[in-house]
Amino acid sequence: MAGSPPAVPDACGIDFGTSNSTAGCALAGTPGQVALLALEEGKLTLPSVVFFHAGDAHISYGRAALADYLAGDEGRLMRSMKSLLGTALINEQTEVAGRALPFRALLAQFIGELKRRAEHAAGRGFTRAVLGRPVFFVDADAAADRQAQDTLSEIARAVGFTDIAFQYEPIAAAFDYEMQITREELVLVVDIGGGTSDFALVRLAPERVGMADRRDDILASGGVHIGGTDFDKSLSLASVMPLLGLGSLLRSGLQMPSALYFSLATWHTINFAYTKKAWAQIGELLLEAQERDKLARLQRLVSERAGHWLAMQVEEAKISLSGAPQAVLDLGRIDPGETRVLQRADFDAAIGGLVGSVERSITELLRDAGVAADAVDTVFFTGGASSVPLLRAQVASLLPRARRVEGDLFGSIGTGLALDALRKFA
């Protein structure tokens, strides 16, 4: 009908993140404009967390899931589910409330809930979506990388999306930044998320906003499978797990087996430490340990299923150390009154190798693109882990003349995906 407002597309952008997820879409009545949707308690992010309650069939998500777990509710907490994509674990299953749950079904439950919440917030259904993806789900394995995207596509279709496109997450962030600029810029996007570090070298300009085909503007993209959860893991292994016996000796003089500690320090494998086999192993090690007090702490941690709680303490310390020279780690749940002071230098030492890998990946990206460091106008940071001081310092040393801009650390990718959905599906 003449004079009727244009239909709002039934398309959205979905950023399914390792730590946090977002969804965005076009706004009714404002052509060309998009916004992120409130997914939980008025907040624009939904932590990528699921809690299965033991006593009934109730499942909680996001902040509510974390609150239920921390309140001591009986059940199973699952986090960093995106890290399963591209691994052999995605085709396996875990036990939840006495029944077997395939990991694919776990991801489908969370992404389905993300879709439902987005539709509720927008007041309309979504059948089409642009999904974000890291440049590499899996490093140096093209077949596994393709399988990871195919798996995510299958899951998205299973929850009700019929038309699906993918966009590299750093390029989506570039589209968000492009809405702010007033002149052409050569931009290096540095996206350090929960599970991966992704980069894109993109030529942006106000007059290019809205163009559907941007292939000529993307000079290079790359990434490495290192993110904020890896920083958590390294800090935990260096400064926390030794308090539970990592690196200590058995009476035989051999070193304590490390596999259990690596499981506890890695978000998506923490639940492996709660198996009967693991519990039996801890009991045997306690009898053989030279420092039995440390193994007693480990035993209390596992008996209380407090592995995720400890990982949260480490994550909070990491965040604190990104803005302060030291942080106090509370270990009271496994050793009453016990604390540990962590220094920024401890954190830097723990993650130095990881940051070095990120630095090398950026150097290779510039070399492959044939672009000199001095030619880059702006470094645009996004992703929660991009605020780590050592990482920012290393990037600044690589590109000393580039302007440094911080985007919405948790929202730039989702906004860019929504913009891309508007262009692709409008």
* CB-neighbour burial class of residue 110 (10 A; exposed 0-12, middle 13-18, buried 19+): buried
Structural domain tally of the chain?
A: 2
Q: Beta strands of 303-391 (E only): which ranges? A: 326-330, 339-343, 378-382
* 25 phi, psi to nearest 5 deg: -155, 175
Based on the fold, state whether residues 173 and 36 are members of the same structural domain: yes
Q: What pLDDT, on the 0 to 100 scale, is given for residue 210?
A: 77
Rounded mean pLDDT for each run of 10 residues along the chain, 426 residues in total: 59 97 90 92 96 89 95 91 94 87 96 98 97 93 95 98 96 96 97 96 92 88 95 97 97 97 95 94 97 96 94 96 94 88 96 97 96 97 96 96 96 97 89
Which secondary-structure segment (H or E) carries 141? Answer: none
Residue among 365, 351, 248, 223 nearest 298 (CA): 248
Q: What pLDDT, on the 0 to 100 scale, is given for residue 95?
A: 85
Q: What pLDDT, on the 0 to 100 scale, is given for residue 92?
A: 93
Q: What pLDDT, on the 0 to 100 scale, is given for residue 6?
A: 52
Q: Is residue 224 part of a domain?
A: no
Q: Is residue 258 part of a domain?
A: yes
Based on the fold, state whether residues 255 and 164 are members of the same structural domain: no
Q: Tens digits of per-residue pLDDT, 130-154?
A: 999 999 999 889 999 999 999 999 9
* Amino acid, res. 223: G
59 and 269 in contact (C-beta within 8 Å)?
no
Based on the fold, state whether residues 18 and 115 are members of the same structural domain: yes
Q: Is residue 212 part of a domain?
A: no
Based on the fold, state whether residues 19 and 77 are members of the same structural domain: yes
Q: State both tokens at 69.
A: 């777990």
Based on the fold, state whether residues 233 and 161 are members of the same structural domain: no
CA 260 to chain centre: 23
Q: Which structural domain, as residue segments, surrounds residue 323? A: 229-348
Based on the fold, state whether residues 37 and 171 are members of the same structural domain: yes
Q: Is residue 289 part of a domain?
A: yes
* Amino acid, res. 79: R
Q: Is residue 3 part of a domain?
A: no
Q: What pLDDT, on the 0 to 100 scale, is given for residue 169?
A: 96
Find residue 61's DSSP bridge partners: 50
Which residue is listed with tokens 């052999």? 88
Based on the fold, state whether residues 15 and 159 are members of the same structural domain: yes
Q: Tens digits of per-residue pLDDT, 400-426?
A: 999 999 999 999 999 999 999 999 997
Q: Which of 299, 325, 348 is the last residue of a domain?
A: 348
Q: Is residue 297 part of a domain?
A: yes
Q: Is residue 373 part of a domain?
A: no
Based on the fold, state whether residues 159 and 57 are members of the same structural domain: yes
Based on the fold, state whether residues 79 and 144 are members of the same structural domain: yes
State the Cα–Cα distance between residues 194 and 337, nearest whole angstrom: 31
Q: Is residue 326 part of a domain?
A: yes
Based on the fold, state whether residues 175 and 279 are members of the same structural domain: no
- The stretches of 211-328 forming alpha helices (DSSP H) are 228-239, 259-265, 276-288, 292-303, 307-321
Q: What pLDDT, on the 0 to 100 scale, is given for residue 57?
A: 79
Q: What pLDDT, on the 0 to 100 scale, is given for residue 7?
A: 62
Based on the fold, state whether residues 267 and 177 are members of the same structural domain: no
Residue among 211, 190, 214 nearest 203 (CA): 214
The CATH number covering residue 417 comes to 3.30.420.40
Based on the fold, state whether residues 88 and 29 are members of the same structural domain: yes
The pTM is what?
A: 0.92
